[in-house]
Amino acid sequence: MQINSTKLPILPMYISNVMRSILFVFISLCVLIPTHSQNSIETIVIDAGHGGKDPGCHGKFSKEKHVCLSMALKLGNLIKKKYPELKVIYTRDKDVFVELGERANIANKAKADLFICIHANAATPAAYGTETYVLGLHRSESQQKVASRENSIIELEKDGGAQYKNFDLSPDAIIAKRLQLSVFLDHAIMFAQYLQAEFKKLGRKDRGVKQAGFMVLYRTTMPSVLIETGFLTHPKEENFIGKEAGQNTMANAMFVAFENYKHSIEGTSPVAIAAPVPTANAIKEAKKPVTNKSTSFIEKVNEQENKTKGLQFRVQILSLNSKIPMDSPRLQGEKNTYVYEQGGLFKYCTKSFVQDINAASKYKTKMREKGFKGAFVVAFLNGERIGIEKGIKLVEN
């Protein structure tokens, strides 16, 4: 059974859509500002979709609840084996029913740094491929159907979904929520891109990073993604993800994506942030040795910038193994570029916005439209990189 999110009760009709959005953002910022840092990864919550009396979708021989649980446990074991210092929490580790709200509560109470929700898809027998969702407005009927199907399990909950009677999934509310958690959404998109890249390496059809109004993503307060690992209604895909060998392969791909994301956040390994596809001229320029003039200019700019005291926000656009000239086509003419080194990587940022995260966020959007798809806002205090949440708190204080 599907739920039409537009029919979910909302605030009284005499409050305009705009006023409702403003009220929602105000309350959220005052009450629900997350406290954990996104400068490191310490706690991961892995959510196996469906379970117990909720089987999810199914194919000829497999059920979504079993497929999801298997991949979730395998992914968690891989993380714990490689990074025993990290805390891995499962919303369920056996075939039991867990309410949507409780799944989000588990992550929020644990102050998780990342929420990974694993699902399998269903549609016509012709549909196949992987897709990863972040919270947002669906842009197609197919995306709406996916969200409606995953949200529909609330009718299996003890109260029949009564606890969600005032739950607002209107476009205004989702936009407001995205504004509230914009920093985490940037990181969720980054992780989703890494996931899709790894799935594509397996030869899976890349259906892309998408957005939709998933309740479980709406209620979490950290970077959160929902992975549709494949279609159980497609015979070949069911034969892959419905069996242990395929589940191992998918879990390994998710683990590699997790490592790439962790290294990008912490700056501990040479992983490049998504950037525009280089043109022939860009490739040619990249092969040229960096001249002393270019290098000294970079150092001169950085030396001057590091003298700037106080809080600054920038937009990070590239992360590379070596320095490039300031006039490199890879920077697409971006002026006043600031470079800092972290974990053996040279990270390129745009001009600074002194104590103005709103201006930096707007510039991030401009950079993404320009082609730097993985651009995100970073914060510096007296020339040193700090967590973005700390930067936000400094502005508020």
Share above pLDDT 70 across residues of the chain, in percent, rounded to a whole number: 66
Name the residue among 375, 365, 383 with its Cα closest to residue 311. 383
- pLDDT one-digit tens code per residue, 145-178: 434 444 455 455 555 545 544 544 455 554 554 4
pLDDT at 183: 63
Mean pLDDT in the chain? Answer: 75
By DSSP bridging, strand 114-121 and strand 224-231 are: parallel
Segment 360-372 mean pLDDT: 89
- Mean pLDDT (whole number) for 74-95: 97
**Residue 396 class from Cβ within 10 Å (0-12 exposed, 13-18 middle, 19+ buried)?**
exposed
What is the spatial distance between Cα 193 and Cα 275, in angstroms, rounded to a whole number?
11
Q: Which two tokens stand for residue 161?
A: 């979904």
Asked if residues 187 and 262 have their Cβ atoms less than 8 Å apart, the reply is no
- Range of lowest pLDDT (112-116, 143-147, 389-393): 143-147
Q: Indicate whether 14 pLDDT > 90.
A: no
Burial 233-272 (b: 16+ CB within 10 A, else e): bbeebbebbbeeebbebbbebbbbbbbbbbbbbebeeebe
What CATH fold (topology level) applies to the domain 5-266?
A: Aminopeptidase (3.40.630)
Q: How far apart are CA 56 and CA 153, in angstroms?
A: 8
Provide the token pair at 82.
């490689």
- Residue ranges, CATH 3.40.630.40, the chain: 5-266
Is residue 253 predicted with pLDDT exceeding 90? yes
Q: What is the pLDDT of residue 221?
A: 84
pLDDT digits (tens, 9 = 90+) for 119-142: 999 999 999 999 999 986 444 344
pLDDT of res. 150: 46
Look up the pTM and report it: 0.59
Can you give the pLDDT at residue 337?
86
* pLDDT for position 386: 84
Identify the pLDDT of residue 241.
97
Residue 2's pLDDT is 32
| Lowest mean pLDDT across 15-24, 170-179, 252-261, 325-334 | 15-24
Q: Give the count of beta carbons closer than 10 Å to the beta carbon of residue 290.
A: 15
| Amino acid occupying residue 322 | S
Neighbouring C-beta atoms of residue 15, cutoff 10 Å:
13
Does 42 have pLDDT greater than 70? Answer: yes
- What integer is the mean pLDDT of 69-89? 97
Residue 213, pLDDT score? 67
Mean pLDDT, rounded, for 177-185: 58
